[in-house]
Structure 1
Amino acid sequence: MLISEATEDILEDWNTKITQRNIKEAKNLKKEVDVMFQRLDDIESEKNYLILSGYYYLLQNDSLELKMIIERMGNIPELSFYHHFFQGIRAYNLRRYDDALDCYRIAEKYLNKNNPIETAEFYYRVAAVYYQVQETLMSVNLIQKALEVFEKNGKYRNRLGDCRMLLGLNYIDMRQFVEAEDQFHIARDIAQRINDSGLLARINHNLGFMYAEQGLSEAAVRYLSNVLRDEDYDYSESYIKTIFLLTREYFKLNQIDAGKEWYEKGIALAHELNNVEYKVKFTLLNALYLDNKDFESTFKSGIAFLQQEKLWLDIEEYAQIFARFYLDCKGYQKAAEYYEIAIEAKNEIKKMEGLK
């Protein structure tokens, strides 16, 4: 077998493991791929290697290595699409949604629409940003385009489940909860068929989120508690988010002891992971439900961080929460100030224009 054929085969195998989110086998294959590429001087193989390395480091949540791959892509004109595309994904992961859209706008100029999988992946990623900035119809339209492609290719069933889940989240924003639940259960069936425990955990998290959005805290707690019983879910990217939601829903149920127990676990994990965003969010929960003697100073500090990070959706949410708190306390002037902050955040969200 020619070395180029061997290279192509191992890259295809690596691509399959990455696509299937098989982290252990993808990691083992990467060692083999790295050794092979130390012996090659082939620009085409290098380009494929860099593209797959980008997806691999996304799978590993390794932002630093991904950044290095993006920089290497910047020196290869043929990889202009992936250079800007991965920059957009990295910005999205950092919750810099306006930056992500800017990167995707540039990437679209280099998108090869004759490559259906590449195009579907691009549509899915852009749809995820539109969901975050509440451009619901744009998000749904792009997800449906991606679904058409992924449904025809059995190799991408993981991504098919991701699309169904994202569609369900958009239905929640539209307050179409029956349709949302239908999509989550379709995604759940896919996750069970392909034995993807990570996808299944995220689906259960989102089912918990859906019930929380309907004010059905008891149902939300059931789903969120089940997610946290999965040992493989520990320290995953979503783990701290699930703890946060569970803590909040226990507080809403006035089950203060249970809420406090999960609050302590969550704030400890936020410090352990040095996750500043969730340090702030758990501190705000503490001020709202447990200790509000320094309520205003805590909120001002929290909102300053959220504004610094341009987390406009969170600013809007928390400003409304605190405005209602002051409204209940008949602090009408303070309530008006926080409602104004919420409106300003909403206006910032609207400034994030869509792809043309």
Structure 2
Amino acid sequence: MIAIGTYIKIQRMKQKMTLGELSEGIVSLSYLSKIENQKTEPHEDILKKLCNRLCITKDQHQDEEIGRLCENWYELLDESNDRQEMEEAYREIQELMDTNYSNHFIMFEIHTIKYFLLIHRTDLAADKIRHLRESAGTFSIEEQYFWNLFNGRYSFFVQNYYHSMYQYKKAEKITESYRLSERIEADLKYYMSMTHSKLRNSLEAIEYAGEALKLYMEQYNFLCCARAHNILGICYCHIKLYEKAIKNFTLGLQLAETIHDKIIIQTIHQNLGYLYASKGDSTKAIAYYKKVLNNPGVPASNKLEVTTLLVREYYHANYYDEAEEYINYGLKQFYDMEDKQPYIVYKYILRSYHYLLEEKFSYFEQLLIDHLLPLLKRQKDYGNYILYSELLAKHYENISNYKNAAQYYREASQTYKHIAHL
């Protein structure tokens, strides 16, 4: 059962109503505060008056229908599912929630965090987290699990990987004494493997991805198996076990092609491009990157990221005309975006190679020193920080500025040692 005080408080805040506006003529302001903070239980007549003021009714039959709709919606909350279908289901439930007292209210509110992340509205996810945080102490054990899980997902989306792992560990702790479904526990292990991978904790990521894969295999969940193989491929690539990486990417690709999931197919193609780039095989790297770009269903943000990788590969393989062509293509993708701020790092990278090709070396140095390297450090993107520190160092070495070359080689080395000890 939902804590009635928590329900009243969240509904009041959603309707932008003050304590005074809700309590006026019904109870004292201090008494309403006690109700909302679980310090007293309201009498039935008071509860009815508060719900009437909030334009909420209590109907057991409606609550059962809301529960059924919620369960169906939770199953839809996956990036592989149709966004319009998710949105329509959300609106239907939200309309019912706005006018009906429901025991499913808190769980629905918590799941909207995941929903907002799936539709790329991190601002709405942040607002939802802020509104729910004050009431988190009243959540049931199962609600606490999903609260921690989706807080972790939000932190992952905004690249705060340490906080993401902290939230996942709290969720994992709950599973030690509270049994959830194997699918739910497998998802947690998969999310933890992704976060360990971002933190370059490759061995931990491999362990969690392997555990998730085993559970997904028992459920015959081919999509999630493909995703787990993809993470394993990334991690083996990080530790330069390329044959194991290729094996996992290949298995993931076979599963994704079997179920015709375009998202995971393009993701694995991109990661195979990265793998061959790491091995120094530019021909294969370029071929896989272009497979992604030639897919008409690829989102603009993914195209921008892959274009940046393609430019880097063309440049280092001395295909300068092709590099310039894709620089222009990538910058057009960037300037056509409505929300540019999350992707500004790609603009900086593309501009960096443009200045190198145009031999505008002072612009190149200024861009890396003042903008690109500080941004990568703030984002804790240590892999790219190392790569572009070395690019700057090599540039200084080529123009015989050995003092600055030594400084940025040292920066790259120290960062590499840092991530090795994380």
The two structures have a TM-score, normalised by structure 2, of 0.76
Match of 1:152 in 2: 218
The answer to whether the Cα contact below 8 Å between 1:133 and 1:313 also exists between their aligned partners in 2 is no
The answer to whether the Cα contact below 8 Å between 2:66 and 2:102 also exists between their aligned partners in 1 is no
Match of 2:286 in 1: 221
Aligned positions of 1:256-267 closer than 5 A: 256-267=320-331
Identity %: 19
The count of aligned residue pairs is 349
Q: Cα distance 1:283–1:107, how it changes in 2: closer, same or farther (>3 A)?
A: farther
The answer to whether the Cα contact below 8 Å between 2:113 and 2:150 also exists between their aligned partners in 1 is yes
Cα-to-partner distance string for 1:309-353 (whole Å, 9 max, x where unaligned): 33333222211222233334443322210022123323543564x
Match of 1:334 in 2: 404
Which residue among 132, 135, 139 is the counterpart of 2:198?
Answer: 132
Cα-to-partner distance string for 1:4-57 (whole Å, 9 max, x where unaligned): 4422332232233223433232222222222232233123x1133124322222
Which residue among 308, 311, 317 is the counterpart of 2:381?
Answer: 311
The answer to whether the Cα contact below 8 Å between 1:271 and 1:279 also exists between their aligned partners in 2 is no
The answer to whether the Cα contact below 8 Å between 2:196 and 2:205 also exists between their aligned partners in 1 is yes
Match of 2:419 in 1: 349
Q: Cα distance 1:132–1:186, how it changes in 2: closer, same or farther (>3 A)?
A: same
Cα-to-partner distance string for 1:244-277 (whole Å, 9 max, x where unaligned): 1111122223222221111112123334431222
In 1, distance between residues paired with 2:87 and 2:98? 17
The one-letter amino acid paired with 2:130 is E
Query: Residue 7 of structure 1: SS of its match in structure 2?
Result: helix
Query: Residue 95 of structure 1: SS of its match in structure 2?
Result: coil
The answer to whether the Cα contact below 8 Å between 1:11 and 1:33 also exists between their aligned partners in 2 is yes
Which structure would you say has the larger Rg?
2
Root mean square deviation of aligned Cα: 2.4
Match of 2:124 in 1: 65
Report how far residue 71 of structure 1 moved.
2.6
Which residue among 140, 147, 160 is the counterpart of 1:96?
Answer: 160
Q: Cα distance 1:312–1:176, how it changes in 2: closer, same or farther (>3 A)?
A: closer
Cα-to-partner distance string for 1:119-150 (whole Å, 9 max, x where unaligned): 22222112112112221101100111111211
Aligned positions of 1:1-356 closer than 5 A: 2-19=61-78, 20-43=80-103, 45-74=104-133, 75-76=135-136, 77-78=139-140, 79-111=143-175, 114-115=179-180, 116-154=182-220, 156-235=221-300, 237-273=301-337, 274=340, 275-294=343-362, 295-301=364-370, 302-349=372-419, 352=422
In 1, distance between residues paired with 2:96 and 2:260? 31
Q: Which residues of structure 1 form unaligned runs of 5+?
A: none
Q: Which residues of structure 2 form unaligned runs of 5+?
A: 1-59
Q: Which runs of 4+ in 1 moved over 4 A?
A: none
Q: Cα distance 1:117–1:205, how it changes in 2: closer, same or farther (>3 A)?
A: same
In 2, distance between residues paired with 1:210 and 1:311? 18
The answer to whether the Cα contact below 8 Å between 2:270 and 2:289 also exists between their aligned partners in 1 is yes
The one-letter amino acid paired with 1:187 is G
Q: Cα distance 1:162–1:312, how it changes in 2: closer, same or farther (>3 A)?
A: same
The answer to whether the Cα contact below 8 Å between 1:165 and 1:184 also exists between their aligned partners in 2 is yes
